[in-house]
């Protein structure tokens, strides 16, 4: 069987699978409904609870799987995800890098977006991710099947990734990364920063990209959303992660969920021309502010409950 035949076969198999992926998005909605509606924090005039943050991030089942119009963000970085689940394409002269495959059922959607931008899906040479949850990295095995890309992941997230097996597929890991390690392709370098808490290997990516003779510091934040119960180990991880992300140079804030950086609002402004709204140094720490305030509110609530 030649390579093209194998690609067609893989796509046919994906099209035939419906129940598994549908169950995943259904579980996501259940998680939203079961998230606590306390404590509440107010940042820049907006009030958030754990439930409202998760609902904002995930949207509806349709939002999680509906293709958002692909577009150039800045420099050589493009958006190829859905309405609420981010997926980024980093384009280089020696092939491309995909960050976050999202759900397996979304891989065909991502491929369509890559092609609409004028690039070849088969030119993806490296596949990266933010963290080991199905809504961000379930599609890794299929992307590797279709492109042959090298799958790289933070070492601390590898056990959780290996437990993600859509349709029984083994989760591919070609290279384990460590905090501060760089990934370079075609003159573009991404640096992997361990920002644990949400998962053990939650990875924030930083990239320098060039546009109109200017260098922009792009930060693709990993989720900083706290779990309902904070253990001593998780508390230590978050304290380290909040301090680290606040120290990162940032001109363009991005994240694993589109709502974390007001993607749809900025995209609408982008269509109107003028200055690029994704260049938003003033907005780089807004999501950090929300999540750190929520972290401390959850911790305070937990400590009060344990002292009674």
Could you give the CA distance from residue 252 to residue 207 in angstroms, rounded to a whole number? 10
Could you give the CA distance from residue 292 to residue 102 in angstroms, rounded to a whole number? 25
Number of other CB atoms surrounding residue 299 within 10 Å: 17
Could you give the CA distance from residue 18 to residue 198 in angstroms, rounded to a whole number? 28
Strands (E), the chain: 41-43, 46-48, 71-74, 77-79, 88-92, 95-99, 124-128, 150-154, 175-177, 182-185, 188-194, 203-211, 214-221, 252-255
Its pTM surpasses 0.75: yes
Could you give the CA distance from residue 131 to residue 129 in angstroms, rounded to a whole number? 6
What is the structure's pLDDT at 35?
Answer: 81
| Burial (0-12, 13-18, 19+ Cβ within 10 Å), 292 | buried
What is the structure's pLDDT at 27?
Answer: 64
Structure tokens at 165: 């097996």
**DSSP code string of 181-211:** -EEEETTEEEEEEE--SSSTT-EEEEEEEEE
pLDDT at 16 over 80: no
Could you give the CA distance from residue 284 to residue 264 in angstroms, rounded to a whole number? 16
Q: Which of 60, 63, 94, 48 is nearest to 225 (CA)?
A: 48
Collect all residues with Cβ–Cβ distance below 8 Å to 279 and sequence separation of at least 6.
Answer: 74, 216, 251, 252
Could you give the CA distance from residue 145 to residue 149 in angstroms, rounded to a whole number? 8
pLDDT at 271 over 70: yes
Could you give the CA distance from residue 184 to residue 126 in angstroms, rounded to a whole number? 10
- Are 73 and 278 a contacting pair, CB within 8 Å? yes
For 133-162, how does the pLDDT look when each residue is reduced to its tens digit (9 = 90+)?
Answer: 999 999 999 999 999 999 999 999 999 999
For 238-257, how does the pLDDT look when each residue is reduced to its tens digit (9 = 90+)?
Answer: 999 999 999 999 999 999 99
Number of other CB atoms surrounding residue 280 within 10 Å: 17
Give whole-number Cα distances, 95 to 117, 169, 304, in Å. 15, 26, 53
State the pLDDT confidence band at 7, using cuts at 50, 70 and 90: very low
The domain spans of the chain are 60-307
CATH H superfamily, domain 60-307: Ribonuclease Z/Hydroxyacylglutathione hydrolase-like (3.60.15.10)
Give whole-number Cα distances, 248 to 220, 285, 288, in Å. 11, 10, 12
Q: Which of 222, 283, 284 is nearest to 257 (CA)?
A: 222
Could you give the CA distance from residue 278 to residue 27 in angstroms, rounded to a whole number? 32
The residues with which 128 forms a beta bridge, in sequence order, are: 99
pLDDT, mean of residues 272-301? 97
């Amino acid at each position: 069987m030649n390579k093209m035949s194998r690609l067609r076969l893989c796509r046919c198999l994906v099209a035939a699978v419906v129940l598994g992926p549908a169950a995943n998005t259904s579980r996501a909605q259940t998680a939203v409904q079961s998230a606590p509606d306390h404590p509440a924090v107010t940042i820049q005039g907006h009030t958030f609870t754990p439930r409202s943050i998760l609902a904002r991030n995930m949207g509806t089942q349709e939002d999680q799987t509906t293709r958002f119009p692909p577009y150039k963000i800045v420099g050589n970085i493009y958006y190829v995800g859905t309405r609420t689940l981010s997926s980024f394409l980093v384009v280089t002269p020696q092939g491309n890098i995909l960050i976050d495959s999202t759900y397996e059922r979304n891989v065909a959607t991502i491929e369509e977006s890559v092609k609409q931008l004028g690039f070849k899906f088969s030119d993806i040479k490296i596949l990266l991710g933010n963290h080991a949850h199905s809504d961000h990295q379930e599609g890794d095995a299929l992307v590797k099947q279709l492109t042959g890309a090298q799958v790289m992941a933070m070492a601390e997230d590898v056990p959780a990734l290996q437990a993600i097996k859509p349709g029984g597929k083994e989760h591919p890991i070609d290279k384990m990364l460590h905090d501060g390690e760089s990934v370079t392709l075609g003159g573009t370098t991404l640096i992997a920063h361990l920002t644990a808490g949400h998962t053990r290997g939650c990875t924030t990516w930083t990239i320098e990209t060039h546009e109109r003779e200017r260098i922009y510091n792009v930060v693709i934040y990993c989720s900083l959303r706290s779990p309902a119960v904070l253990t001593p180990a998780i508390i230590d991880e978050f304290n380290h992660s909040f301090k680290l992300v606040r120290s990162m140079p940032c001109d363009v804030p991005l994240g694993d969920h589109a709502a974390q950086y007001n993607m749809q609002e900025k995209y609408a402004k982008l269509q109107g021309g003028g200055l690029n709204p994704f260049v938003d140094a003033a907005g780089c720490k807004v999501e950090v502010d929300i999540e750190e305030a929520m972290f401390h509110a959850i911790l305070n609530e937990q400590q009060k409950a344990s002292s009674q």
